[in-house]
Structure formats: C-alpha cells, structure tokens
Structure 1
C-alpha cells in the first residue's frame, strides 16, 4: 500500500495553492485532482478579479498555471477521485476511484462545492456564454445591460442587489409568491427601482444560440409564458459542498460545509485539514480559496513537524546518556 507524507484531495485554487506551499516546504505532497481537475474555474471563461492578471485570464488557463507551479516544486499531481476515507486511526486511509488505497500522515481536503443548477439543456449549453452561478464573479461583464437572476434566498437577494449596481435592469425570478430571504434583504430588493421581482414563475427556457439573448418564463398560477430579453442569466439557488464522503468523521453544518477551528483549517480530526469552498459558505471566491489553501499547507507543515518531535527528543536523550 502506498504511503503519502501529505495527501491533497481536490484541486482548484485551494488545492493547487496548498500544493505549492507544501511542496516548497519539502512535504512531497501527492494530489488527486478529483472529478473536475481545476474546479469550478475550469468552466469560467474570463476571470478578472484574481490579483496578478491585469488583462484578465481564462479560467482553465489560470488553473493550468497553478498546476504547473505546483508540479514545478515537486507535487505529484494525479488523476483520480477520492471515493472513501477512514479517519478513525492514524495514518489516515483514503480510497481512490473505489480501488486504490493509500495511507497518509496528513490530509488536506480541497474538494470544493458545486453550484446547484436548474437542469435545463440550454442552461448547460450556454454556461459561460451568458449563464453564470456567480454574480460577484461575472456581473462586471454585464454593466449597463439587462439580466435575470433565479433564486429566493439571501444569496439571491444579495446578488440581485449587487447586479443592480452594475446593470440597467435586474429581473429576479421567484418560484413562489414570497421569498425565503431575511426580511432586511427582501426589503432591499423591493426598494430597489432597478430590480423587478417576477413572482410565482419558473424558467422554461434560456433563449439564444451562442450567447444568452433572453429567457422564457412560465407563471405557475396562470400557466402563461412570457419572454424577457436579457444578456445575462444568473442562477443563485445554492451550492452543495463536495463533502459527502467525509461526513462520518468530520464535523459539518446543516448544509454539509466542513467545520474548521476558527482562524485555522484544522478539522476535528488531527492531521486532517479543509480549505476552499468545501468549508467556506460565505465568500466562495478563487482568491479566498487560494488563501485558505496556503493556510492548510502551513497548518499541515506544523502538524507534521510536531509529529516528529518525540523521535528527535528521544534521540537527544539517548545521545546525552551515551555521553
């Protein structure tokens, strides 16, 4: 059975950054990239809010840059997805693709979160061509234009308000006759003259061949349909953290986000660290994910160094006695 000093599960900004720092610290990390190597940014066309790219960068290109940097310093980057873990003892055990088992002294989890989608074929086809699950990431591209956003919770209300600062008009599509958002967030939406709430409605189709040109809505009360011309379509119905295989051992909140000790990336299991969107339900940005990836590598480095202290201490005592 193969043994890793440090195993990183998942990639993206968090995983790759953790790998860069860990490799430079001499931890010889092994990384399994997961089902979507590079994470959500691999389906993002233009990234303009990550420091260091003054002219912007394509999401896949940025992830390839981070991967190359991790490999340059000695990270063993592999294809494969963690399908089971056993954190009940030490070393930790991780199964890859249901067949390959490894042990590890320390594990960094960077499996991210997946956006929830409506499930429309047109939504998938136009993803990155007007369809987005992150208004903060992509709203800038629709300045002065009319857009639509789907959702009824705090995130949807917050993103609708954010878009209203950039766009000429925002249609907020709400399935029921009321929102789930907090009262103060609802009031901000309702008081904003740029936001029109479309109640009791669902998205029937996103219109456009190569880019978003509009959206067809269906009213669930009258069963009538209407078409709205928009150039951007944002989905804000939530995210699902990719944490299912860890839940037996690691503390998590009601939504499945892994809990870490405040100010650190430490989980409730010694030697297991979590970074990026799998533990961040608040910000979910590439730059914050990268920051926690750095934290995870530093936390793991200190943990692994502390593990070796007893052995060094014993050698010192023995040498002293021998003298």
Structure 2
C-alpha cells in the first residue's frame, strides 16, 4: 500500500503535468490559476487509495482521479461566483482576479476538460466509470440548485438540508471512492460499500465545514469566517436555530434576513451568539460523529483485511479533526 504522502506527491506531479495550451490562452489561465491554489486533493487521493486497496498498481486510476479533481475545482469556481465569494484558499477567487464572464466560460472549459480526462480511463471500466461520473455531476447540479433555493426559504427542514449536502458534497466523495475501487478491480459489493462510506463521510465533512464557517480561523480555513451567515445560507446550524430559537431570537434573525445593507461583523456576531445560546456547536458535532460512525460501519463490511484500510481511516480521521 502506498502512503498518503506518496499518493499526494503523485497527484501533485500529475496535476503539474496537465497542459492547457489551446488558444486563446486567456480562457485557460483561470484554470491553471485555480488548480495552482492547491487544496487538500482529498478527492483524487481517495480515488487512488480505493484503487490501491485492491491493486498494487494505481495507474488505471490516475486519469479518472485527475478528471475528478478538475471537475471539483470547476464546481468551486462556479460556486464562488454564485456566492460572490472574495477568497478561495486564502487567495482571490477567479471572478475577482478576472471577471464573472471569464469565470463562467473558463468553468465550462474545466467541465469539458474533466470529461476528457475521465474519457481516458482504460476501456474495461470506461462505461461504468463514465456513467457514474455523469450521474454524479447531475446530482451535484441539483444540490447546488437546492442550496440556492434554500436561501430564500424559512421553512427548510433538517432532512431537506441533509439531502442537499448529500447531493452537493457527499456524492462526489462517494464517486471518487467507487471509481477508484472499480479501477482497482474491486468486487461489486465492495465498490458499493465504499460508495456508501463516501456518502457518510461526505455528510460528516460538510457538517464540519458548516462548523468551521462559524467557529474556524480565517488564517487556516482559507475562506472568510461567517460567509454562510452573510449569504443567509440554510446550514445545519441555522436550520436548527430557526427551529429551536425563542420568539425574540427568531425575530432578530428575520430582521437580519431582511436587511440589504449592514455591517458584516455585526451580523456574524449576532448569529454566532444565538448559536452559542442554543448550544448548536455541540449539536452539530454530535451529528458529525453520527455520520462518521456510519462511515466506519461500511468499512467494517469490506471483504479485505483491516490492515489495508489504515491509510484510508487515517485520512478520514484527519478530515474530521481539521481546522481548515
């Protein structure tokens, strides 16, 4: 089994070798820019790790892993534009460095580049992996649409929110794991168990992200703290705040929702205070732990020796204890 650090080194090497030399250069500069910002590379790493569990060689998984990472960054580029975000990984977002139109078109080119890379999967598993990716890409679009619609709704339920983050975040992690497993020749049942593992760990990951948006440190989080609050995003914390707040607290939140001009720091402080009063940090942490435990149950059912899962478990433990 390759170590996580060895897998990351391979990913960075392969990403550095990607070439976008087609004219016009101005279309591809933003793609090179967002890929150069780094990030955790968790998605391609999961792809290669899942492959390596079943196969000593990870070569069959390299191209789809790269395609999935390019696709992930495409979603970030468009998400930042829709959210009007200023920062990504502590650097200006693409639409801030260039403009909105460039971000849209370069993002479209990234999506096509992702398909091209995944299309280079070896022929034995090409249709299965391409079909999985296509379904996943459509699900992610659905998750993003739900996310936008929720901003103007006051009646979003916790179950609706969990379904939204399943589509927007978890299915891609699940896709990466199943893609790697298929590439490595895993039994069908194991590939599906790794998919379900990805769903659960993805839900835990996004709920952790909700927490970090409120309680994280800008220096390590890579994004401005409180961005979800400023955008009125219906996160796990906000939904539970609306469900459990006193009438006075509900009125306070509704008044802030209605404001179009305000001091960002004041709004963030107000909502954080309400979350603290309702003990929502602990509630969210408990939900994170629940999905993490469900993910571990999936790993326990795999038809492989537990020693092969050490790297995968270590990475997931790191994700769940991250500060960025």
Give the alignment's TM-score, normalised by structure 2: 0.30
Larger radius of gyration: 1
Which has more strand, going by share of residues?
1
Which has more helix, going by share of residues?
2
Give the alignment's TM-score, normalised by structure 1: 0.30
